[in-house]
Amino acid sequence: MKKALILSVMVIFSLVAVGSVFAKPAKCPQPRKTKAAPGSIAKKDKTKKANAKNGKKIFMKTAKPMACKMCHGPKGDGGGKLGAALKPAPRNFTCAATMKKVSAGQMFHIIKNGSKGTGMVAHGKTLKDKEIWDVVKYIRTTFMK
């Protein structure tokens, strides 16, 4: 009886501990493994007419193979459930020191083509260009203010 109680308390404590490890925001400033996009693409910016609300849906829910928030975190700080296990860590969009070097076009290029040698997969087959601009706008207007 007593043993079972101790055991369940231990289980609860370890779940809480694991949960808080997962929820941790990524470092800031953050090292960047991702390569620069070609200059012509890096300078592109089609966020003006993009739909941030649709971008939010993609980030939080519908992106394939999984929602962006699983790695980048619901707060965009790199603290997603899978983020803690990844090396390099997912980008922390809330880190101004790192993100000031990352243009809208750069983000578009990496979301579309992925970042070799990291967990960032290409979404060019599952998202239309317009949808990628939507998610870029959502990230830039929500997490990078």
In sequence order, the 6+-apart residues with CB closer than 8 A to the CB of 105 are 37, 41, 42, 43, 44, 45
What is the Cα–Cα distance from 145 to 127, expressed in whole angstroms?
A: 25
Q: Using the rule CB under 6 A, is 88 a contact of ligand HEC?
A: yes
Q: Which value, to the nearest 10 degrees, does the dihedral of the CA atoms of residues 95, 101, 107, 110 take?
A: -100
Q: What does the block give as tokens for 123?
A: 């979404």
Instruction: Name which of 7 and 29 has its Cβ closer to ligand HEC.
Output: 29
Positive or negative, the CA dihedral 98, 106, 71, 89 is negative
Q: What does the block give as tokens for 46?
A: 């089609």
Region from 6-14, 15-23, 42-50, 55-63 binding ligand HEC, contact rule CB under 6 A? 55-63
Instruction: Write down the residue that tokens 């809480």 correspond to.
Output: 16
Q: Using the rule CB under 6 A, is 33 a contact of ligand HEC?
A: yes
Instruction: Name which of 19 and 29 has its Cβ closer to ligand HEC.
Output: 29
Site for ligand HEC in 102-141 (CB under 6 A): 102, 106-107, 110-111, 115, 118-120, 123, 135
The single residue among 76, 79, 90, 105 that binds ligand HEC, judged by CB under 6 A, is 90
Nearest CA among 126, 120, 117 for reference residue 71: 120
Q: In the bound complex, what is the minimum distance in angstroms from residue 13's beta carbon to ligand HEC?
A: 28
Instruction: Name which of 52 and 68 has its Cβ closer to ligand HEC.
Output: 68
Binding site for ligand HEC (CB under 6 A): 32-34, 58-59, 63, 66, 68, 70-72, 82, 86, 88, 90-91, 102, 106-107, 110-111, 115, 118-120, 123, 135
